[in-house]
Chain A
Amino acid sequence: GDSVTQMEGPVTLSEEAFLTINCTYTATGYPSLFWYVQYPGEGLQLLLKATKADDKGSNKGFEATYRKETTSFHLEKGSVQVSDSAVYFCALSGKAAGNKLTFGGGTRVLVKP
């Protein structure tokens, strides 16, 4: 079945450091790919998405590119802030994925001042 694998955390960084969270997927067909973010005590919010190969999603300084050849959708940010501390989830969806979001295990990111 479809699955998403992302790097385990926690990832601890200093402010203004570069952040990368790796995400790879296994899916039939051509799923849409998403990054969601969960701040402490809150629900998930969509951070960015890409719906086809080579699309780049971007939002709030975060970027991720849909790489079909490597089945990856790595999340990057050039300069993190303390307010970026959260849990980040990579996910996929689409008809072949059963019309549901399939999530990776989440990566906790802690940014220290």
Chain B
Amino acid sequence: DTAVSQTPKYLVTQMGNDKSIKCEQNLGHDTMYWYKQDSKKFLKIMFSYNNKELIINETVPNRFSPKSPDKAHLNLHINSLELGDSAVYFCASSQQQGVTEAFFGQGTRLTVV
């Protein structure tokens, strides 16, 4: 049973399109995150939600909009995709704020052409 699952695993789309990535965790955790991993493997946090409330919003273009319908789900919607958005996006969850341990999904490889 997958703890943190993301869909889709691969996403290829054209510039200017709008796309969404979905994430679900079945660990009962309160906090969920989105991270972006670039081509050099560098990981940077984008957003964090705690019990459906946005608590971290790093410097991310407002074309990126997270949505948390409940504490088990955190989706990422991206408008007007650009070439530079190509990356691997990871969803993660942890039991509480402060991050004792984060569990990661398998990642979504987004390619914008």
Contact = CB atoms under 8 A, between A and B. Distances in A.
Contacts of B42: 103, 105-106
Interface in B55-110: 55-56, 90, 92, 97-107
A77 interface: no
A98 interface: yes
A106 B104 contact: no
Contact of B41 (A46, A99, A100, A106): A106
A41 B53 CA distance: 31
A21 to B, nearest CB: 14
Interface string B28-46: 0001010000001111110
Interface in A74-113: 87, 89, 93-95, 98-103, 105-106, 108
B99 A93 contact: yes
B48 interface: yes
Nearest to B58: A100
A43 interface: yes
The bracket for how many chain B residues form the interface is 20 to 34
11 contacts: A43-B4, A43-B90, A43-B106, A44-B90, A51-B100, A93-B98, A95-B98, A99-B97, A99-B98, A103-B43, A106-B43
Interface residues of A, number: 25
A79 B103 CA distance: 27
Contacts of B41: 38, 87, 105-106, 108
Given A38-B41, A101-B45, 6 more contacts: A49-B101, A95-B97, A95-B98, A100-B56, A102-B45, A105-B42
The 9 closest A-B pairs by CB, nearest first: A93-B99, A43-B104, A106-B41, A103-B43, A99-B97, A44-B104, A43-B106, A100-B45, A43-B107
